Structure 1
Amino acid sequence: MAKKNDVTVEEKLRALYDLQLVDSRIDEIRNVRGELPLEVEDLEDEVAGLNTRLEKLEADIEVVENDIKTKKNLIDEAKTTIKKYSEQQKNVRNNREFNALSKEIEFQELEIELAEKHIKEYKAQIEQKKEVIAQTQERLDERKKHLDHKKNELDEILAETEKEEQALIDKSAEYEQNIEERLVKAYKRIRTNVKNGLAIVPVERGASGGSYFTIPPQVIMEIAGRKKIITDEHSGRILVDEDLAREEQEKMDSLFKKF
């Protein structure tokens, strides 16, 4: 096999155009998937976020329920204390002791009243959080259903195209190995900067493919001569003649059918 630097310009153009056709086919496959992978990722993030929100709401309710238990214990203790002081009032020796116990009983009754008020507020908080949980759960169920649908859609597309895409990726890497590094770098740079990733295009009806800018007849003759690599002065794309493009397209179509 000839060294990379020993091949003719025509062979370089054919190799580059073959690489372009393979990469364009990969682009087509990825375009079929479109935004689906990102949609799936966004839905997964949303589902995770809703689950986290539900967990936090459940934890909040647990905290409030513990607060209610604490207040109920306080009420029980206060009632026990009231009962104890009420019994003591029966055995007091003077009004001063009776009044002191009455104040303690009154204080405990206020504690009970305040605790009951807090319990009422806590229960209202729980009901409010339960409403939010119900709404969040409904949203979560809907998002999960949508996620499952999108995942199935993506899985179907991947099942149809994954094998072909990987074969094409391998073929693209193989072709790159047989092309001069400087040309591969130039190809990739152009491909990144132009629309549709087309770095190499054929001359069609006197203009570069996908362009309305006319190419001078002398330049068209030079392109057809395949003696040097010529780029479009407007887009920077590498140009090949129609015959070479058609021949390579037919060759690559046969290859693609095998994948």
Structure 2
Amino acid sequence: MANTKELSVEDKLRAIYALQLIDSKIDEIRNVRGELPLEVEDLEDEVAGLTTRLDKLKNDLEVIDTQIKEKKNAIDEHKATIKKYLEQQKNVRNNREFNSLTKEIEFQELEIQLAEKHIKEMKVSIEHKKEVVGQSKEKLDAKQQHLKHKKSELSDIMAETEKDENFLMEKSSEYQGKIEDRLLEAYNRIRSSVRNGLAVVSIERGASAGSFFTIPPQTQMEIAGRKKIITDEHSGRILIDSVLADEVRESMEKLFAKM
């Protein structure tokens, strides 16, 4: 919750510009990391996806192997049945029984042929899946190595910047507590809507920093008077005079030197 103690407009401007400098410093640190955290996250997702796919392929191979064994057992059973029918044919009493057994034998032989065809197809499928497993494993190994490298890179950067970021985050929170809620909300809204995150800028050569639009002399005088919060009509940014900006910047440089 923001500090309820009423500050002068000048104190509000000093506090909010100090907050801007701190938050910009945090932005700089995060920019050093760049896209690395997202890269690591994407690579972790890819590795997880490839691992799942590889596990499924290996499971498929086990299933096919089991099916081949079942087909081979079935072939053995069909052969045993044929042998039994052949023995029975030796003791038949008429042609009808003989023909009936012959049909049964033919059916068992067809079942054997079908099972052998399925085994052949499944062996081809196994070879194909083994190739895919090999390719997937190569790809997974490469992604894991890449992930390891990126994680190490991120870890090094985090080790260098985490302490400074935590220090600045504490200071940002401290300064936010000095600013009234409505002004802080406006600051956060402007900050999130501009590309460089600058919600508070100083007047430089008659224009707001980073802008080509000249600010009328009367408005410049009002900004220098520090009696009210004034925003740039073009960008919506909060404007401060260059003298105040230099004073706050100098004060913040001393703070940053402690990092």
Partner of 1:214: 214
SS at match of 2:201: strand
Number of the residue aligned with 2:245: 245
1:25 aligned onto 2:56: no
SS, match of residue 196 in structure 2: helix
* Mapped partners of 1:222, 1:108: distance in 2: 103
Alignment of 1:35-50 (within 5 A): 35-50=35-50
**Gap regions ≥5 residues in structure 1:** none
Q: Does 1:176 align with 2:176?
A: yes
Q: SS of the counterpart of 2:202?
A: strand
What is the CA–CA distance in structure 2 between the aligned matches of 1:129 and 1:234, rounded to whole Å? 62
CA distance in 1 between partners of 2:51 and 2:94 (Å): 64
> What corresponds to 1:195 in structure 2?
195
Distance in 2 between the 1:95 and 1:192 partners? Answer: 95
For 2:178, the aligned partner's letter is N
* Worse-superposed segment, 93-102 or 233-242: 93-102
What displacement does 1:4 show?
Answer: 4.8
1:233 alignment partner, SS class? coil
Equivalent residue number for residue 257 of structure 1: 257
Partner-residue secondary structure (3-state), 1:172: helix
After superposition, what is the alpha-carbon deviation per residue over 1:25-82, rounded to whole angstroms, capped at 9, x for unaligned?
1111111111111111111111111111111111212221121111111100011111
Distance 1:140 1:257 in 2: 45
1:151-180 Cα shifts (integer Å, max 9, x gaps): 111111111111111111111111111111
Distance (Å, rounded) in 2 between the aligned partners of 1:95 and 1:182: 105
Amino acid in structure 1 at the alignment position of 2:213: F
Amino acid at match of 1:256: F
Alignment of 1:7-18 (within 5 A): 7-18=7-18
Q: Which SS does the other structure have where 1:16 is aligned?
A: helix
Q: Which amino acid aligns with 1:129?
A: K
Q: Percent identity, please.
A: 69
Deviation of 1:5 (Å) = 4.7
Q: More deviation in 75-84 or 99-108?
A: 99-108
TM-score normalized with structure 1 length: 0.95
SS of residue paired to 2:173: helix
Q: CA deviation at 1:90?
A: 2.4
Tell me what 2:94 maps to.
94
Distance 1:159 1:223 in 2: 42
Letter in 1 for 2:50: L
- The secondary structure found in structure 2 opposite 1:215 is coil
Gaps of 5+ in 2: none
Q: Give, in angstroms, the shift of residue 93 of structure 1.
A: 2.9
Q: Does 1:62 align with 2:62?
A: yes
Structure 2 partner of 1:83: 83
Question: d(CA) in 2 for partners of 1:127 and 1:32?
Answer: 48
Match of 1:125 in 2: 125
SS in 2 for 1:202: strand
Following the alignment from structure 2 to structure 1, what is the Cα–Cα distance between the partners of residues 166 and 21? Answer: 15
Q: CA RMSD in A?
A: 1.4
**Distance in 2 between the 1:90 and 1:180 partners?**
107
Secondary structure of 1:195's counterpart equals: coil
Superposition TM-score, scaled by structure 2 size: 0.95
Q: CA deviation at 1:187?
A: 1.1
Q: 1:106 aligns to what?
A: 106
How many aligned positions are there? Answer: 257
